[in-house]
Amino acid sequence: MTIRVLLADDQALLRAALRILLDSCDDMELVAEATCGGEAVALARVHRPDVVLMDIRVPGTDSLAATSAICADPGLPETRVLILTTHEIDAHVAEALRAGASGFLGKDVTADALLDGIRTVAGGDALLSPLATRALVTRFLGTPAAAAPPRAAERLSALADRDRDVMTWVAEGRSNAEIAMILDVSPLTVRTLVRRVMAGLDVRDRAQLVVMAHQSGMFLAQPSVER
């Protein structure tokens, strides 16, 4: 499958470098380039990319508003937004996750890491490093300004105890491998459990699962480790 990518960045030199990188991959296609947030939204609606690779700070309609518009658009259910940022621990990154972004990467990553990140997000998974997740949770995501909507609270209350435990561990920034060790199961089983929780809560990906958990305050609870 060819991953269709839309690039949103106002720096021509960076766009040129990323264009060359994406063109070098047999499994990726750069379908459009945007220089501002409004253009990114418009082009996403035209080209329906799998991934929008968006700089955290773009002119015009900012990246947060653009991310929200793309992720909320019923005509773009399969489009994921991957944020490029200079600083991983940034209030703007937290806001981008709340707006619907599927993850973020620092601009200092290697070319291979960037390409792997695009593939990860295109595959439906979130791109959140445990270290950055924990820092974002501590500094930004767990604030009163981000209360979960009533409908989300109802869905959370309907979760089985084990599913709530899994969601809590995800919200703490634990990897599938770490959760697998706690539960004494395989990482593949954990991935299945996480996907089941996402389906039950009707969230797009792991990033939105983290946001919902912290908005609800459930991460303050201690998971029960039962076999």
Does 177 lie in the same domain as 79?
Answer: no
Token pair belonging to 221: 């609870």
Does 159 lie in the same domain as 78?
Answer: no
Token pair belonging to 3: 């991953």
For the stretch 83-130, pLDDT in tens is 888 765 566 777 778 888 888 888 888 899 899 989 988 887 777 665
Does 69 lie in the same domain as 110?
Answer: yes
Report yes or no on 122 lying in a domain.
Answer: yes
Answer whether 0.85 is exceeded by the pTM.
Answer: no
- Taking alpha carbons only, the member of 84, 97, 185 closest to residue 133 is 97
For the stretch 85-98, pLDDT in tens is 876 556 677 777 88
CATH number at residue 19: 3.40.50.2300
Does 173 lie in the same domain as 76?
Answer: no
Q: What is the mean pLDDT of the chain?
A: 82
Domain count, the chain: 2
Does 150 lie in the same domain as 123?
Answer: no
Report yes or no on 134 lying in a domain.
Answer: no
- pLDDT of 226 reads 45
Does 120 lie in the same domain as 12?
Answer: yes
- Taking alpha carbons only, the member of 209, 44, 183 closest to residue 54 is 44
- pLDDT of 129 reads 60
**Domain encompassing residue 43:** 3-127
Report yes or no on 154 lying in a domain.
Answer: yes
Token pair belonging to 120: 């990860």
